[in-house]
Amino acid sequence: MRVELRVCRHCFEGEHENEHKTKITRDLVACAEIIEEHKHHLDLDDVHIRWVTEDEDDDGRPDAIPAVAATIQNEQIMVSDTQLITMGENGYMMVYPNPQDALKVLSGNIDELNKVTSGNVTPTLSPEGAEILTSGQTDVQEREDDDIDY
């Protein structure tokens, strides 16, 4: 199985001034980095973190897995700047354009790692990330300009 987390570098660095999304984005990256470091324990072929920027030379294309999730808003195609894509050995892909869903998937992998490794590899999550995982919260305060439109 292959995993690609596409994440907005500007959200990660807090440049969009959306503190909630910044914390969730950092939680996603923390989980993905641990999974990448221990991927051999989960029989993952590849874990890739793709940093998306709003720079002119970054068109937001995927790096490792050729799939992109999009929605239509105000008759415009909107591509989420943060999304998780997984691809199994059979070629089936799962796309998680919602950061909350992506965090749940990644934390499930962390749980599996904790079962097969000798130590605790759980990252310290923000209170916002922890609440998503414990309460099933699904709405994140995201701004429309955090998406890439084509």
* Mean per-residue pLDDT, 91-106: 94
Taking the C-alpha atoms of residue 24 and residue 21, their distance in angstroms, rounded to an integer, is 5
Is residue 31 a contact partner of residue 105, using CB atoms and an 8 Å limit? Answer: no
| Of 79 and 128, the one with more pLDDT | 128
- Across the chain, what does the average pLDDT equal? 86
User: Residue 81 has what pLDDT?
Assistant: 81
Q: Is the pLDDT of residue 35 over 90?
A: yes
User: Residue 136 has what pLDDT?
Assistant: 56
Is residue 60 a contact partner of residue 79, using CB atoms and an 8 Å limit? Answer: yes
Q: Is the pLDDT of residue 139 over 70?
A: no
Q: Is the pLDDT of residue 146 over 60?
A: no
CB burial class (10 A; 0-12, 13-18, 19+) of residue 104?
A: middle
| pLDDT tier at 149, thresholds 50, 70, 90 | very low
Is residue 34 a contact partner of residue 113, using CB atoms and an 8 Å limit? Answer: yes
